[in-house]
Amino acid sequence: MAEVILNEEELQERLKYWQEKLRLQDWIVEVQISRGKDMMEDTCACVDYTLSKKMASVKILDPIDYPDDVMGERDMENDLVHELLHLHFAPINEHFNDDNEIYSTFEEQAVESIAYI
């Protein structure tokens, strides 16, 4: 797998493509490249959303902050797809109130399996 590093404009284009491909056009989604200090520790991407408004914000880690010990090449597009897929699980996640560790593990495993592009 080759490393995929995108700039902000390319990331916006990929967002538009993947929102359509994943049937998430009814969501208002913004994406941005973020520095590590602005994200949770040991996170390469994250999504925050408001389900009732179908609005989401995706942060993708700036390559400058990639850890030295990461296994394999980084793929910002795959990270984007991964985070967008979480939006399909949002209603279930809200049902469990983000407190169910078993559900969170299963969701992460499912998203990871589906997101691998």
* Interatomic CA distance for residues 51 and 73, integer angstroms: 32
- Residue spans per domain, the chain: 8-115
**Percent of the chain topping pLDDT 90:** 57
Number of Cα atoms under 13 Å in the Cβ half of residue 116 = 6
Q: Is the pLDDT at 56 greater than 90, yes or no?
A: yes
Q: Is the pLDDT at 107 greater than 80, yes or no?
A: yes
Stated pTM of the model: 0.88
Geometric angle at alpha carbon 84, from 72 and 42, rounded to 5°: 45
Look-up of token digits 């279930």: 92
Residue 97: how many other CB atoms lie within 10 Å: 8
The 10s digit of each residue's pLDDT in 57-100 is: 999 999 888 877 666 678 899 999 999 999 999 998 888 766 67
Q: Is the pLDDT at 110 greater than 70, yes or no?
A: yes
**Percent of the chain topping pLDDT 70:** 91
Confidence of residue 31 (pLDDT cuts 50, 70, 90): very high
Provide the pLDDT for residue 29.
Answer: 98
Q: Is the pLDDT at 1 greater than 70, yes or no?
A: no
* Helix (H/G/I), strand (E/B), else coil: 62: coil
